[in-house]
Amino acid sequence: MNKLDLIASVADETELPRAKAAEVVDAVFAAIEGALKKKEEVRLVGFGTFATADRKESMGRNPRTGEEMKIPASTSVRFKPGKGLRDAVN
């Protein structure tokens, strides 16, 4: 399922026009993104939790040349599924 499929599904479930459903889906994504930018956790009970995780700088190795290189520090997004989602998938 891609974003357009998600918009179509939301439009069908809520009986909203696709344009309005697209606004709703974009607003939800923007709210999640905004919270994660502020390093806040987004907890959707029954669905899951989005959170940021900081990775420290580390040393790695280039697989082609074997040369050592620094891997810079970065921030990644983690998702932990909730019980409701895990049960629905199993």
For 3-53, give the DSSP string: HHHHHHHHHHHHT--HHHHHHHHHHHHHHHHHHHHTT--EEETTTEEEEEE
Q: Go through the domains of the chain in sequence order and give each one's CATH number.
A: 3-89 (4.10.520.10)
> 71 in helix, strand or coil?
strand
Model confidence pLDDT, tens digit, residues 40-54: 999 999 999 999 999
Model confidence pLDDT, tens digit, residues 9-67: 999 999 999 999 999 999 999 999 999 999 999 999 999 999 999 999 999 999 999 99
pLDDT of residue 51: 97
pTM of the entire structure? 0.80
pLDDT of residue 43: 97
